[in-house]
Amino acid sequence: MKETDYFYDRVKRLIKQNNMTQEKLAKACNINVGTFRGWIAKGIYPTVIDAYYLAKALGISLDYLVTGKNKAEKNNEKRIENVNSLLDRAKTELGKIR
């Protein structure tokens, strides 16, 4: 699957969750419905501005629309990376002592 497939899978799921249609979403974002459907069919990302309006109309953050993760999940991933980095450094330093 291409990255844009995941993006538009989220868009389609959120359209259903919000009891919308592609037409209503496109209209709410002032995007031509043919253009919107073309993006989906061709796997083309919208411009940042259009993605912002899509996210806003769908009631989510732009970050979630693009990544599929909310801010808390991304923060937790970063914390885990930091902890793993610290553990690696501790192992290295302990290895020098022996």
Q: Quick check: 72 pLDDT over 60?
A: no
Band (pLDDT 50/70/90 cuts) for residue 46 is very high
Residue 2, pLDDT score: 86
Cα 95 from Cα 84, distance rounded (Å): 16
Band (pLDDT 50/70/90 cuts) for residue 13 is very high
Residue 51, pLDDT score: 96
State mean pLDDT over 40-69: 94
State mean pLDDT over 34-62: 96
Q: Are 26 and 16 in contact (CB under 8 A)?
A: no
